């Protein structure tokens, strides 16, 4: 007890130096008390720190008199909401087909299963979601907080509801709609039609058939290019 009191009280001694002496180590590890993340309170209170030195987070929390969580204030709550909105948006940015609310909730909370409404049971999240950078960013996220976030994003037009509880980024929905509309206007431009007898002459003359054949993922683009080049079909 006396030693502990001594460790707290000696003036002018680094806290880590106190540990070093107690454990009878030769030296403190290199870099000790040199950075914002590991500087002890004694070092923090020394003159001559770099001008941009930041108070160690742990020390800040320890000496703070404001013990209310940041989210309890209006500004803190707004910042927390904006952060959540960004996380939801990011998650859906990486999941083109959209996700149901239960999956978004599980990912943001850092869980590895979600409750599937359609199957009535908990199912494992798939690897892409387990590895998402969004995963576990808000472990204490409540259901009503997530719903409010989704509602904000829908109101802003950034998300579109596409099922009972499924949401997609609006630009993705629009992109698909535009593609579907283009395919309806010119059904003859679809890749399979290029291989009909009679169609091949025209597409061979325009070139690029090889591209469409060799790279199916480019088929749509190639077809769109052909569409631009083709004269309107004679009727």
Question: 46 or 174: whose CB is closer to Zn ion?
Answer: 46
For residue 13, the minimal CB distance to Zn ion (Å) is 9
* Beta carbons within 10 angstroms of residue 43's beta carbon: 18
For residue 51, the minimal CB distance to Zn ion (Å) is 19
- Owner of token pair 């952060």: 83
Query: Residue count at the site for Zn ion (CB under 5 A)?
Result: 5
* Contact between 92 and Zn ion per CB under 5 A: no
DSSP strands (E only) in 97-137: 99-100, 113-116, 121-124
Part in contact with Zn ion (CB under 5 A); list of ranges 7-15, 74-82, 166-174, 184-192: 7-15
For residue 38, the minimal CB distance to Zn ion (Å) is 9
* Contact between 123 and Zn ion per CB under 5 A: no
Biggest alpha carbon–alpha carbon distance for the chain = 101
* Contact between 40 and Zn ion per CB under 5 A: yes
Candidates 43, 135, 137, 138: give the one binding Zn ion (CB under 5 A). 43
Candidates 13, 21, 28, 33: give the one binding Zn ion (CB under 5 A). 33
Question: 45 or 221: whose CB is closer to Zn ion?
Answer: 45
Q: What is the spatial distance between Cα 191 and Cα 223, in angstroms, rounded to a whole number? A: 6
* Contact between 14 and Zn ion per CB under 5 A: yes
Contact residues toward Zn ion (CB under 5 A) are 14, 16, 33, 40, 43
């Amino acid at each position: 007890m006396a030693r502990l009191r001594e460790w707290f009280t000696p003036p002018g001694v680094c806290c880590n130096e106190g540990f070093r002496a107690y454990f009878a180590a030769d030296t403190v590890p290199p870099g000790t008390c040199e950075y914002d993340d590991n500087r002890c309170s004694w070092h923090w209170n020394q003159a001559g720190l770099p001008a941009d030195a930041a108070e160690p987070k742990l020390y800040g929390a320890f000496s703070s008199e404001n013990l209310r969580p940041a989210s309890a204030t209006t500004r803190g709550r707004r910042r927390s909401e904006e952060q959540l909105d960004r996380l939801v948006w990011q998650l859906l940015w990486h999941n083109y087909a959209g996700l149901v609310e239960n999956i978004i909730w599980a990912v943001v909370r850092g869980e590895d299963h979600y409750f599937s409404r359609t199957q009535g049971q908990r199912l494992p999240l798939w690897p892409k979601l387990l590895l998402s950078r969004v995963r576990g960013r808000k472990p204490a996220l409540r259901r009503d907080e997530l719903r409010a976030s989704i509602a904000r994003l829908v109101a802003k037009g950034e998300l579109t509801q596409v099922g009972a509880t499924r949401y997609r980024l609006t630009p993705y929905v629009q992109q698909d709609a535009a593609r579907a509309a283009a395919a309806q206007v010119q059904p003859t431009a679809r890749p399979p039609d290029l291989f009909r007898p009679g169609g091949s002459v025209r597409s061979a003359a325009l070139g690029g058939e090889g591209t469409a054949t060799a790279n199916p993922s480019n088929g749509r683009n190639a077809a769109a290019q052909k569409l631009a080049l083709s004269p309107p079909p004679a009727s």
